[in-house]
Amino acid sequence: MFRLLLPLPPGTNPLKRWRVIAIYVGIVFFGLSRFLFALPDVLDHAADSLGWNPTLVLAVNGVFLLVLLFAWVEARRVHILIAASALIAVLLADGIFYTLLGSWDFMQGWVMLWLVAILAVFLFENRISIGLVCLVLVVMTLASFADVGDLSRDEVFWRTAMYLTQVMGILALVGLMGQTVILFQHSAQSTTPEDAKILIDVGAEVARSLFERHELDDFLEHFTEQVVNYFPAVYHAEVYLIRPESQIATLRASTGTVGQQLLAQEHELEVGGLSVVGRATLTQNELVIQDYAGGTPLKPNPLLPQTRAEYALPLVVNEQVIGALDVQSTQVEAFTPADLVLLRAIGTQLGIALDGLLLYGEAQRNIRENRALYQQTQANLREIERLNDQLTGRAWSDYLRLQPETAAMTFDLESGEITNEAEWTPTLNEAAKHHQVITITKGGQRVLSLPIIVRNEAVGAMEFEIKSEAPLPDEVFDLAQAVGQRLGLALENRRLFDETQRVAQREALINDIGTELQTATGVDAIVQQTARLLQKALAAEQITIRLGRTETDQSDQSVKGRA
Question: In whole angstroms, what is the distance from residue 57 CA to residue 43 CA?
Answer: 8
Residue range 124-151, pLDDT digits in tens: 776 777 778 778 777 777 776 666 566 6
Report the distance separating Cα 497 and Cα 530, nearest Å. 30
Residue 211 has pLDDT above 60, yes or no: no
Cα separation of 2 and 285, whole Å? 44
Torsions phi, psi for 192 (to 5 deg): -115, 170
Burial of residue 56, with CB atoms counted within 10 A of its CB: 0-12 exposed, 13-18 middle, 19 or more buried: exposed
Residues 328 and 269 in one domain: yes
Please tell me whether residues 481 and 535 are part of one structural domain: no
**Statement: residue 369 has pLDDT above 90:** no
Lowest-confidence region among 62-66, 194-198, 244-248: 194-198
What pLDDT does residue 314 have?
92
Residues 178 and 130 in one domain: yes
For residue 486, the domain's CATH number is 3.30.450.40
What average pLDDT does the segment 271-285 reach?
89
Among the candidates 141, 171, 188, a domain finishes at: 188
Confirm if 228 and 234 have CB atoms less than 8 A apart.
yes
Instruction: Say what the pLDDT of residue 394 is.
Output: 74
**Other CB atoms within 10 Å distance of the CB of residue 262:** 18
What integer pLDDT is reported at residue 251 of this predicted model? Answer: 93
* Residues 221 and 178 occupy one common structural domain: no
Comparison of pLDDT for 405 and 546, the residue scoring more: 546
What does the pLDDT read at residue 104?
43
Q: What confidence tens digit (pLDDT) does each residue in 228-243 have? A: 887 888 899 999 998 8
Mean pLDDT, to the nearest integer, of 96-122? 71
Angle between helices 474-519 and 337-402 (to 10 degrees): 70
Q: What is the mean pLDDT of residues 386-402?
A: 70
Rounded to 5 degrees, what angle do the CA atoms 279, 266, 232 make?
60
Q: What is the band of 194 on the pLDDT scale with cuts at 50, 70, 90?
A: low
Alpha-carbon distances of 529 from 339, 423, 532, 541, 542, rounded to whole Å: 104, 47, 5, 16, 14
Determine the pLDDT at residue 12: 47
CB–CB of 274/251 below 8 Å?
no
221 and 288 share a domain?
Answer: yes
pLDDT of 238: 93
Do residues 528 and 494 both lie within one domain?
no
Average pLDDT score over residue span 478-495:
78
pLDDT at 191: 47
Percentage of the chain beyond pLDDT 90 is 7
Residue 403 in any domain: the answer is no
Name the more confident of 364 and 553.
Answer: 364
Average pLDDT of the segment spanning 94-98: 78
Q: What is the pLDDT of residue 163?
A: 63
Would you say residue 389 lies in a domain? no
Residues 531 and 505 in one domain: no
Judge whether 530 lies within some domain.
yes
Strands (E), 330-415: 410-412
d(CA 361, CA 382): 31
**Which residues on neighbouring strands pair with residue 98, listed in sequence order?**
none
The CA dihedral of 268, 270, 273, 275, to the nearest 10 degrees, is 30
Res 157 pLDDT > 80: no
Q: What is the mean pLDDT of residues 353-367?
A: 76
Q: Where is mean pLDDT largest: 178-182, 264-268, 403-407, 431-435?
A: 264-268
Helix or strand or coil: residue 148? helix
Sign of CA dihedral 317, 323, 328, 333: positive
Report the predicted TM-score, pTM, of the whole model to 2 decimal places: 0.41
Tally of domains within the chain: 4
Does 384 have pLDDT greater than 60?
Answer: yes
Q: Is residue 249 part of a domain?
A: yes
Top-confidence residue, 216 or 200: 216
Judge residue 275's burial from the number of C-beta atoms within 10 Å of its C-beta, 0-12 exposed, 13-18 middle, 19 or more buried. Answer: buried
Give the separation between CA 418 and CA 81, rounded to whole angstroms.
111
Instruction: Residue 556: give the domain boundaries.
Output: 520-562
* Section 497-505 average pLDDT: 80
pLDDT at 440 over 50: yes
Are 324 and 280 in contact, with CB atoms under 8 Å apart? yes
Give the type of residue at 201: D
Asked if the structure places residue 288 within a domain, the reply is yes
For residue 87, pLDDT beyond 70: yes
On whether both 8 and 91 belong to a single domain, the answer is yes
Q: Considering the domain boundaries, does residue 405 fall inside one?
A: no
**Residue 459 domain flag:** yes
Q: Domain check: are 304 and 450 in the same one?
A: no
pLDDT in tens, 289-330: 988 877 778 888 888 888 989 999 999 887 888 899 999 998
In a domain, 393, yes or no: no
8-state DSSP, 50: H
| Domain identity same for 452 and 478 | yes
Q: What is the mean pLDDT of residues 217-229?
A: 84
Please work out, in degrees rounded to the nearest 5, the angle formed at the alpha carbon of residue 459 by the alpha carbons of 455 and 463: 120
Co-location of 67 and 27 in the same domain: yes
**Local confidence band at 262 (pLDDT 50, 70, 90 cut-offs):** very high
CA distance 49 to 8: 40
| Same domain, residue pair 473 and 554 | no
